[in-house]
Amino acid sequence: MLSMEIKRTVEKNERYTKMLEYFDSTGKLPTRKVRKSFTITNMDFDKLKEASKRSGKSMSDILDELIEYHL
């Protein structure tokens, strides 16, 4: 009974579980932001900027969500 509840809690909070696993294996805080430079096409940048305006989220937050979802 308790193991079912633990499993449900872990599944519900999967993002935080992964963050703790990352910290445990690397010793680095996963919430710390890192500034990196990369290039994207103008068309993709315009789409990202429009999505940012529509959702009220920063472009960085949208990219973080996309990367987390796809990787």
Dump pLDDT digits (tens) for 32-54: 778 889 899 999 999 999 999 99
pLDDT > 80? residue 55: yes
CATH number at 58 reads 1.10.1220
Q: Which of 3, 34, 54 is nearest to 11 (CA)?
A: 3
Domain count, the chain: 2
Q: How many residues does the chain have?
A: 71
Say how far apart CA 32 and CA 50 lie, in whole Å: 26
Q: Are residues 15 and 38 in the same domain?
A: no
Q: Are residues 38 and 24 in the same domain?
A: no
Put residue 56 in one of left, alpha, beta given phi > 0 → left and psi -120 to 50 → alpha. left
pTM over 0.75: no
Per-residue burial over 39-51, b if 16 or more Cβ lie within 10 Å, else e, is eeeeeeeeebeee
Domain encompassing residue 48:
34-71
